[in-house]
Amino acid sequence: MKVLRTENLKKYYGSGESLVKALDGVNLTVDRGEFVAIVGTSGSGKSTLLHMLGGLDYPTEGSVFVDGKDISGLKEDALCIFRRRKIGFVFQSYNLVPVLNVYENIVLPIELDGNEVDTEYVEQVAEVLGLKERLHSMPNQLSGGQQQRVAIARALATKPAILLCDEPTGNLDTKTSQDVLSLLKVTGEKFSQTIVMITHNEEIAQLADRIVRIEDGKIKGGEQDA
């Protein structure tokens, strides 16, 4: 089943001679439970694509379907609620709340939405990510790799339809990057999580089930294997 789909997705900036086609007719599908890496050089459109997939920006033209819902036309309030409930984000910066401990950071999005925390599931996620013994630690007591694992756990805690990762190991050294990405893959498999990851690192991309390449705002390879 397709959990993510774009139709003729376009994002243009400027006009006339200064027109920039950040995305120029992107058609992409991702199956439920699939781990897809989107690879491209700086300026290729990969981060713009992630922002469109996550409802962080509106397309100039085209549609984005997440879990069967066309999010490209939703008003900001409805889009905000949909993002919180259906889309998990992991960025380069961990964005942890410094005054909350690990467990409190992980369950924060659930509590903000007024929902009951599935403590058994959260503990399972924490265990898979090697955080079970650090749930009462504060962010400043953790290494960069541990903080990124907390960010991944927080993104997974809401049981999102898709998990979007934007250069998730950009602030980590090579060894820690490989460890975190391996854990991300294992976690995705264990909880049947759909993951879309943006990266410029070919070695990291090899961990994915499928690699999609983007150049000049267009898909250049990988989609035919969908």
Residue by residue, pLDDT tens for the chain (226 residues) are 899 999 999 999 988 888 999 999 999 999 999 999 999 988 899 999 999 999 999 999 999 999 999 999 899 999 999 998 899 999 888 899 999 999 999 999 999 888 899 999 999 999 999 999 999 999 999 999 999 999 999 999 999 999 999 988 888 888 888 888 888 898 889 889 999 999 988 888 998 999 999 999 999 876 644 3
Give the residue from 123, 170, 125 showing the smallest Cα distance to 149: 125
| C-alpha distances in Å from residue 23, one per residue of 91, 139, 181, 186 | 21, 37, 27, 31
**What residue ranges do the domains of the chain occupy?**
32-60+74-225
**pLDDT in the model for residue 177:** 85
Q: Taking the chain, what is the end-to-end CA distance rounded to the nearest angstrom?
A: 11
d(CA 118, CA 101): 18
Regarding pTM above 0.85, the answer is yes
**What architecture is the 32-60+74-225 domain classified under in CATH?**
3-Layer(aba) Sandwich (3.40)
Half-sphere exposure of 57 (CA within 13 A, CB side): 16
Give the residue from 16, 31, 62, 58 showing the smallest Cα distance to 218: 62
**pLDDT in the model for residue 204:** 86
